[in-house]
Amino acid sequence: MMHSRNRRLRVNESIRSLVRENTLTTDDFVMPIFVMEGENQQEAIPSMPGIFRRSIDLTVKECKELFSLGIKSVNLYMKVSEHLKDNTGKEAWNKDGLMQQTIKAIKDAVPGMIVMPDVALDPYSIYGHDGIIENGKIMNDATNDALARMSVSHAEAGADIVAPSDMMDGRVLAIREALEESGFTDVGILSYSAKYASSFYGPFRSALDSAPKDNMEIPKDKKTYQMDFHNSREALNEVFKDVDEGADIIMIKPGLPYLDIVAKVREAIDLPIAVYNVSGEYAMVKAAAQNGWLDNDKTIIESLTCFKRAGADMIFTYFAKEAAMILNK
């Protein structure tokens, strides 16, 4: 006679929900947002159906709608005009720059929205790299100085948390010290600690025109500073260093192909963990759903729940608004 039957706890949805280990809510989501110059401007991103670049006024309108759906945090990226790009990134800390204006506008309109601006130089670089280049090399320490100035500028504009995504060594400490010295002791740092050099970023880079430029004098990719996707122990080394330097939240990027890294980091640290459901992951689901190969809504919820199961506390995802609508049904 069989005494143990696991199926007893799967008999119906009420029982399944009663014993469910992980639950997805709108509190888990951070919505990445692309901002462009102009007024009343909106441009579709062809490789990311349903995602747009918007001018500040329409971005504010979108943030109001997101907040009404229960999404309480946004991650900001700027589409920078070509004439503002150089090899120093100085536009990144322009107090009247597009990022700074956007932060202020969102915080004024939706005070409860947590604003996390991206901290990296690639949108501001003539080379499309996350760092300053000299003699064909990415200069780590000079870049850290620029990132610290950028972070303080974001804090002055009203950012709640700065999110360095560059993968320079020591930049968390440089940013933390700069924020403390400037009096921004309550501004958090969400560090992209384990960010891999991945092929899944393609649609994002086309959205911001931030891919490395085809120039024989500079690195053709970001593999000298982003992580090698063959490695996992290295991720823990990166995470531990960022924790020691003062990071408040740890990011792992990309998401679905790197759930093993999320689980490893969850076992190793007690800090909140973020995971980035990146543009390539979004594009694959959307393409399959549009072809009728996947159920759009069910696949979105299953994918996002997998991040929670692996140990993530928050999910940066382009599905945030759509997922919130599904959950709110």
DSSP-derived secondary structure for 124-162: GBTT--SSEEETTEEEHHHHHHHHHHHHHHHHHHT-SEE
Q: What does the domain layout of the chain look like in residue ranges?
A: 27-328
DSSP run (H or E) holding 308: helix 296-310
Where in the sequence numbering do the catalytic residues fall?
195, 253
Examine the pLDDT at 211 and tell me if it is beyond 90: no
Token pair of 89, please? Answer: 């990134």
pLDDT band at 213 (very low <50, low <70, confident <90, very high): low
Q: Give the residue from 222, 118, 106 showing the smallest Cα distance to 161.
A: 118
Mean pLDDT of 185-214: 84
CA-to-CA distance for 204 and 241, rounded, in angstroms? 27
The model's pLDDT over 107-163, given as tens digits with 9 standing for 90+, comes to 999 999 999 999 999 999 999 899 999 998 999 999 999 999 999 999 999 999 999
pLDDT for 215: 67
pLDDT for 207: 66
Q: Is 158 left (phi over 0), alpha (psi -120 to 50) or beta?
A: left
CA-to-CA distance for 243 and 267, rounded, in angstroms? 14
- Output the CA torsion 121→124→128→134 (10° steps): -70
Q: Is 199 helix (H, G, I), strand (E, B) or coil?
A: helix
The CATH H-level superfamily of 27-328 is Aldolase class I (3.20.20.70)
Q: For the chain, what is the mean pLDDT? A: 94
Task: Tell me which long-range contacts 57-65 makes (C-beta under 8 A, separation of at least 24).
Answer: 57/105, 59/33, 59/35, 59/102, 59/105, 59/106, 60/105, 60/106, 60/109, 60/110, 62/33, 63/33, 63/106, 63/109, 63/110, 63/113, 64/109, 64/110, 65/321
pLDDT for 203: 83
Asked whether 95 and 53 are in contact (CB, 8 A), the reply is: no
CA-to-CA distance for 168 and 208, rounded, in angstroms? 21
- 238 assigned binding-site residue: yes
What's the predicted TM-score (pTM) here?
0.94
Q: Are strands 132-134 and 273-277 parallel, antiparallel or unpaired?
A: unpaired
Q: Are strands 249-253 and 188-195 parallel, antiparallel or unpaired?
A: parallel
Q: Side-chain half-sphere of 82: how many Cα atoms within 13 Å? A: 2
Q: Give the residue from 60, 66, 31, 82 showing the smallest Cα distance to 316.
A: 31
Mean pLDDT of 284-289: 96
